[in-house]
Amino acid sequence: MFQYDLAEVTTLLRQLVAIKSYPGEEHAVQQAVANWFTANGMTAEIWPTSQAPNVVVRIENGTGPTFMLNGHTDTVLAAEGWDCDPWQGHIDGDRMYGLGACDMKSGVVANMLVTRAFAQHRAAWSGTLIFSSVVDEEAYSLGANSLVTQGIAADYCIVSESVPEIELGAAGKILVRADVIGKAAHGFMPWQGINAASEAARFVVQVDGLPLGVHERIPASQSILSLLSGSAQYVVTIPERAEVLVSRQIVPGENKAEVMAQMDTIVAGLNSPARIELTTPPPYYPPFEIAADHALVQALQVAFTQAHGRAGEYYYSTGVSDANLFAELAHIPTVLHGPTGANYHQCNEWIDLPSIVRCCQVFTQTILTLLPAK
């Protein structure tokens, strides 16, 4: 009943890869996604964001739970060193090479084809299936945040990132910015000023010594991304301003308020003559984790085992994605699973084309289990 054709998968993915879609430049690819649904007899809803829109397709089919398939159509910027045109969709055996082929237009293609199949075979299931294609995941997740703000709701969600196993959780991310305001003075008379660079360095030393959160499966981490101060041109002047940017990866059990309390304590303890102002610029991602015995995980595991002939390995990520937002801000039980590929955020990114078909099969069986016919 539910059949997926490799040739159609290849053609559709090549069409999407051919459309350049850097963050903020996703209008054309999102319109292509919407047009495909329209051509296949479905209504594509355009949900606005502050940049390019999201595309949402809702298949309502009687009473029952709501299941969402989600993916993003933006890509990172093309790295140097590609062996082929990043937008060509070059095929070599079972692999397609192209920017976004792996991360994650292949996952979007799987979601599109599965959504159409469920629209065509309504007797096999009952409930609501939502397709959502979002923008800006590679930058600030404006698309996912907009969906959350606009009230997206579901009982289950799969984000079809290129995760060939089954991801059950991930660290969160907080950016902390410290603006240090001192006082300029002649470099030969530093006592007349307040050196913002020196005070920023004192702050960084203390931040580097902070204890990090502990979790059984997800590691916490912290990086000083930048410390900027002084003039780009050589001058003998005490810098009056400095800026520090800290990236903190938090684990379940930690939150933004706790991290900022730590930072405030550091600032207070420095007794700095400078003024240090702390802010948390976007993006922010709370950590998330779903239990291995959750109905969504169990259904996905059974479907994975049927498709692959083995059980899927449970995986926890140190990175963030839109799944963090759906799981924690929209309170939708969420997992990640998608096609197999490599070299994302690098040159020569590729996806295994048959793995997209397998994903369609896995998603189909998972949805049929959780949205059974009445």
**Residue 255 sits in the same domain as residue 240:** yes
**Helix or strand or coil: residue 371?**
coil
**Residue 195 sits in the same domain as residue 208:** yes
> Alpha carbon of 280 to those of 97, 178, 204, 213: distances in Å?
37, 9, 16, 18
**Residue 105 sits in the same domain as residue 59:** yes
Beta bridge partners of 347: none
62 inside domain: yes
Q: How far apart are CA 130 and CA 60, in angstroms?
A: 8
309 inside domain: yes
Residue 169, CB-side half-sphere exposure with 13 Å CA sphere: 19
96 inside domain: yes
**Residue 188 sits in the same domain as residue 149:** no
Closest CA relative to residue 69, chosen from 145, 155, 157: 157
Reported as a pLDDT band with limits 50, 70 and 90, residue 38 is: very high
pLDDT of 87-127, one tens digit each?
999 999 999 999 999 999 999 999 999 999 999 999 999 99
The pLDDT of residue 1: 78
**Residue 239 sits in the same domain as residue 293:** no
The pLDDT of residue 178: 98
- Put the strands of the sheet holding 95-97 in their side by side order: 90-92, 95-97, 350-352, 341-342
**Residue 160 sits in the same domain as residue 210:** no
**Residue 24 sits in the same domain as residue 79:** yes
Closest CA relative to residue 370, chosen from 280, 269, 316, 294: 294
Q: Record the tokens describing residue 272, joined without a space.
A: 């700095």
The pLDDT of residue 249: 97
Q: What average pLDDT does the segment 150-157 reach?
A: 98
DSSP track, 219-275: --EEEEEEEEES-SS---EE-SEEEEEEEEEE-TT--HHHHHHHHHHHHHHHT-SSE
Q: What average pLDDT does the segment 232-255 reach?
A: 96
Task: Count CB-CB contacts under 10 A for residue 205.
Answer: 11
Domain count, the chain: 2
Residue ending a domain, choose from 260, 279, 298: 279
Q: How far apart are CA 163 and CA 141, in angstroms?
A: 19
Closest CA relative to residue 174, chosen from 278, 255, 277, 267: 255
Q: What average pLDDT does the segment 132-150 reach?
A: 98
Residue 45 confidence (pLDDT) above 90: yes
| Residue ranges in the chain assigned as alpha helix (H) | 6-17, 27-39, 106-120, 142-149, 196-208, 256-270, 295-308, 322-328, 353-370
Closest CA relative to residue 217, chosen from 297, 301, 287: 287
**Residue 27 sits in the same domain as residue 89:** yes
Residue 220, CB-side half-sphere exposure with 13 Å CA sphere: 18
Residue 192 confidence (pLDDT) above 90: yes
Phi, psi for 147 (deg, rounded to 5): -60, -45
Residue 253's CATH number: 3.30.70.360
Residue 60's CATH number: 3.40.630.10
**Residue 88 sits in the same domain as residue 162:** yes
**Helix or strand or coil: residue 178?**
strand
Residue ending a domain, choose from 279, 298, 316: 279
**Residue 63 sits in the same domain as residue 117:** yes
The pLDDT of residue 248: 97
Q: How far apart are CA 114 and CA 361, in angstroms?
A: 8
Residue 311 confidence (pLDDT) above 90: yes
Phi, psi for 238 (deg, rounded to 5): -65, 125
**Residue 111 sits in the same domain as residue 15:** yes
Q: In terms of residue numbers, what domain contains 236?
A: 172-279
**Residue 135 sits in the same domain as residue 34:** yes
1 inside domain: no
Listed in sequence order, the residues at least 6 apart from 306 whose beta carbon sits closer than 8 Å to its beta carbon are: 361, 365
Residue 32 confidence (pLDDT) above 90: yes
The pLDDT of residue 213: 95
**Helix or strand or coil: residue 90?**
strand
Q: Is the peptide bond before 104 cis (omega within 30 degrees of 0)?
A: yes
